[in-house]
Structure 1
Amino acid sequence: MGEKLELSGRCLCGAVSFDATASRPRVSVCHCDMCRRWSAGPFMSLNCEAVTFENQDNIGRIRSSDWAERGFCTKCGSNLFYHLVDSGDHQMAAGLFDDQSKLRMSLQVFTDRKPDFYDFANETRKMTAAEVIALYAPALE
């Protein structure tokens, strides 16, 4: 399962569609406060490169931090992606993909921020907020 996976997907209403390449078919789950407010639950995503969007004029963007933006369909409101602005990669919402049969959950982040009312049975790597920030946050100048 180490080879790249070509995928396509779309928002709920179909106003935005896309093709993307995933280097691995692994779904990450974020339990941070921002993702839960944005998604009304944990944000499940797949790291994709070479994403090409159809009907980009239907994509709204909101800058959620100094280093990232979130994209959504302006017609139906579907969450589309989380994107580090200095990167070409997008964390595409896992539920958008047409074929989800090869996707597997492998990572959960901000696990110390997860509310007590839900849990996943999947065995995954788990990282706290401090671990994620230490590994991925841009260095402050």
Structure 2
Amino acid sequence: MSDKKLLNGRCLCGAVTVSVQSDDPRLRACHCDMCRRHTSAMFMSVDADPATLTVEGPAQSYVSSDWAERGFCGTCGSTLWYGTTHDGVRHLAAGLFDDAAGGRLTLEFFSDRCPTGYALAGDHRRLSTEETIEMFTEADATDD
């Protein structure tokens, strides 16, 4: 029997709906320049099982770099996901889900790029730009 919880979410206008399973909907925040430009703040995502993801409606994506895409609703423009193009994994926006899926913040990427006007409270892991890039570089090396 699975301990995974079904999470159902939607964009602002409701045209795009998503469902995914997660056994622990942890939240992650990214302060990189692209995430901030895409969302006007940090990008908050919910950790979920990518194999269980279903997306319905006018979802579109923009390839924003050699390794990533940004998903959005084709009707209202709501942010839907940050996706890695090498494996097709989509990291879903926390705002799609009521109460951010009840998740708890566990990780910040590019924490040293967090604007001085806001900061996230709590006891969670904070990775600097160097640490974030190192982590993703190591992940790419293990995918080969």
> Does the alignment reach a TM-score above 0.5?
yes
| One-letter amino acid of the counterpart of residue 29, structure 1 | A
Alignment of 1:98-117 (within 5 A): 98=98, 100=100, 102-117=102-117
Aligned to 1:18: 18
1:54-78 deviation digits (Å, cap 9, x = unpaired): 12xx112101111111100010010
| One-letter amino acid of the counterpart of residue 106, structure 1 | T
Asked whether the equivalents of residues 9 and 19 of structure 2 are also in contact (C-alpha less than 8 Å), the reply is yes
Asked whether the equivalents of residues 9 and 97 of structure 2 are also in contact (C-alpha less than 8 Å), the reply is yes
| One-letter amino acid of the counterpart of residue 103, structure 1 | G
My pick for the range that moved more, 17-26 or 33-42, is: 17-26
Task: List 4+ stretches of structure 1 deviating above 3 A.
Answer: 98-101
Aligned to 1:72: 72
Aligned to 1:53: 55
* Counterpart secondary structure, 1:24: coil
Mapped to 1, the partners of 2:101 and 2:55 lie a distance apart of: 22
| One-letter amino acid of the counterpart of residue 52, structure 1 | T
1:9-32 deviation digits (Å, cap 9, x = unpaired): 000000000111224210000011
* Counterpart secondary structure, 1:71: strand
Unaligned runs of 5+ in 2: none
Mapped to 1, the partners of 2:99 and 2:43 lie a distance apart of: 18
My pick for the range that moved more, 96-105 or 123-132, is: 96-105
TM-score normalised per structure 1? 0.88
| One-letter amino acid of the counterpart of residue 18, structure 1 | V
Mapped to 1, the partners of 2:86 and 2:23 lie a distance apart of: 19
Q: How large is the Cα RMSD of the aligned pairs?
A: 1.7
Asked whether the equivalents of residues 7 and 98 of structure 1 are also in contact (C-alpha less than 8 Å), the reply is no
1:59-100 deviation digits (Å, cap 9, x = unpaired): 121011111111000100100000111224321000111354
